[in-house]
């Protein structure tokens, strides 16, 4: 357990004091954001049946995560302006809970930050922060253990989904013995990794797969092959009648090219707004690059938004990435 006991005790007392609790995750939620939030929702509801507890995802639940237990209970807007306790999970920065949800944090009586992104965005009266955790789900696992909440099959499924998605199915550098021990316990508790993998990774729609083809047709390589990038243009979404959520996993094709040090995916779902995903090998800190564009993330996986035309986004990001590449 890497969260200090004093912080776990503080978290427990915050739960006990609060009568109303809102949980929130980041915009464009991924498996860890949703899985860790739902596991905490299920656990707290079981432990404190008399409290009012709700979970909010500003951008709802992408189709591939609808199988998560209790996903149907997630709201896209908070039902009140203020709660006794507002908790952000996996968000990096409380502002990333989204325009509609973030104000609730300012108005609520107390705040809690549960995250494995540990940077300038840390906030709250109680902070359960652990940069060594591969997923926020690992922190929630420890928290539920501290609270004496039994991990049932539903909670285990939510947590294992967070661990599997944030570790790239146990392939990324964030995987530790603790990650595998946690995963083993979750499987013992009833989670089925093959089922999660099937729902999350082998569940691309036909139009979504056509979209992948269009995206890969834009693939480019530069800086002696150290930078690889691809774009999903606005017209690609229109042509295939797809959504931004259909680009889940596209960055992995760009990242897995031999010799690539930095992989970039540009997504222009709305004209004038370009979402950028950055992935790197150990040699480049892409969180620093994303920071230059008011984004953030981890050293090897980060993201940001560029407001402007796709070509301008590409020029600006490629310049920043080239500048960050160590001389070879």
Min dist CB 149 to ligand 5GP, Å, is 26
Min dist CB 135 to Mn ion, Å, is 5
* Residue carrying structure tokens 């606005």: 234
CB 83 within 8 A of CB 97: no
Residue 156 or 278 with smaller CB distance to ligand 5GP: 278
d(CA 140, CA 310) in angstroms, rounded, equals: 38
Residue 130 or 268 with smaller CB distance to Mn ion: 130
Q: Which does 261 bind (CB under 5 to 8 A by kind): ligand 5GP, Mn ion, none?
A: none
Q: Which does 74 bind (CB under 5 to 8 A by kind): Mn ion, ligand 5GP, none?
A: none
Q: Which does 32 bind (CB under 5 to 8 A by kind): ligand 5GP, Mn ion, none?
A: Mn ion
Min dist CB 101 to ligand 5GP, Å, is 15
d(CA 30, CA 155) in angstroms, rounded, equals: 17
- Residues at the site binding ligand 5GP, with contacts judged by CB under 6 A: 26, 28, 92-93, 96, 277, 295-298, 301-305
Min dist CB 295 to ligand 5GP, Å, is 4
Contact between 90 and Mn ion (CB under 5 A)?
yes
d(CA 200, CA 160) in angstroms, rounded, equals: 12
Tokens representing residue 168 in the block: 């790239």
Stretch that binds Mn ion, among 14-22, 85-93, 253-261, 317-325 (CB under 5 A): 85-93
55 by Cβ neighbours in 10 Å (0-12 / 13-18 / 19+) ranks as buried
Site residues for Mn ion, window 104-143 (CB under 5 A)?
Answer: 136
Min dist CB 90 to ligand 5GP, Å, is 7
Tokens representing residue 216 in the block: 């890969």
Residue 69 or 295 with smaller CB distance to ligand 5GP: 295
| Cβ neighbours for 23, distance < 8 A, ≥ 6 positions apart | 37, 40, 41, 53, 54, 55, 56, 87, 89
CB 110 within 8 A of CB 137: no
d(CA 251, CA 262) in angstroms, rounded, equals: 11
**Is 290 strand, coil or helix?**
helix
Stretch that binds Mn ion, among 25-33, 93-101, 168-176, 258-266 (CB under 5 A): 25-33
DSSP letter at 50 equals T
The contact set with Mn ion (CB under 5 A) reads 32, 90, 136, 166
């Amino acid at each position: 357990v890497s969260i200090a006991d004093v912080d776990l005790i503080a978290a427990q007392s915050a739960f006990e004091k609060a009568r109303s609790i809102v949980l929130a995750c980041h915009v464009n939620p991924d498996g860890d954001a949703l899985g860790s939030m739902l596991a905490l929702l299920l656990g707290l509801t079981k432990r404190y049946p008399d409290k009012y507890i709700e979970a909010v995802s500003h951008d709802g639940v992408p189709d591939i995560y609808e199988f998560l237990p209790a996903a149907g209970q997630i709201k896209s807007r908070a039902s009140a302006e203020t709660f006794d306790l507002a908790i952000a999970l996996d968000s990096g920065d409380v502002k990333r809970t989204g325009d509609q949800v973030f104000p609730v944090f300012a108005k609520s009586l107390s705040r809690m930050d549960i995250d494995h992104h540990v940077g300038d965005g840390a906030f709250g009266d109680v902070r359960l922060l652990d940069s060594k955790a591969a997923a926020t789900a690992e922190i929630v696992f420890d928290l539920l253990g501290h609270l004496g909440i039994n991990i049932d099959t539903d909670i285990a499924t939510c947590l294992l989904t967070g661990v599997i998605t944030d570790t790239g199915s146990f392939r990324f550098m964030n995987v530790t013995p603790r990650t595998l021990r946690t995963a083993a316990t979750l499987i013992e508790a009833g989670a089925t990794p093959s089922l999660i993998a099937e729902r999350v990774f082998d569940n691309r729609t036909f139009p979504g797969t056509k979209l992948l083809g269009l995206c890969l047709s834009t693939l480019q390589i530069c800086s002696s092959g150290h930078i690889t990038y691809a774009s999903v243009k606005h017209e690609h979404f229109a042509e295939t009648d797809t959504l931004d959520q259909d680009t889940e996993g596209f960055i992995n094709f760009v990242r897995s090219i031999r010799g690539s040090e930095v992989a970039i995916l540009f997504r222009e779902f709305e004209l004038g707004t370009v979402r950028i995903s950055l992935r790197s090998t150990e040699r480049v800190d892409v969180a620093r690059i994303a920071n230059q564009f008011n984004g953030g993330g981890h050293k090897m996986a980060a993201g940001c938004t560029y407001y402007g035309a796709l070509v301008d986004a590409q020029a600006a990001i490629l310049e920043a990435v080239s500048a960050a590449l160590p001389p070879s």
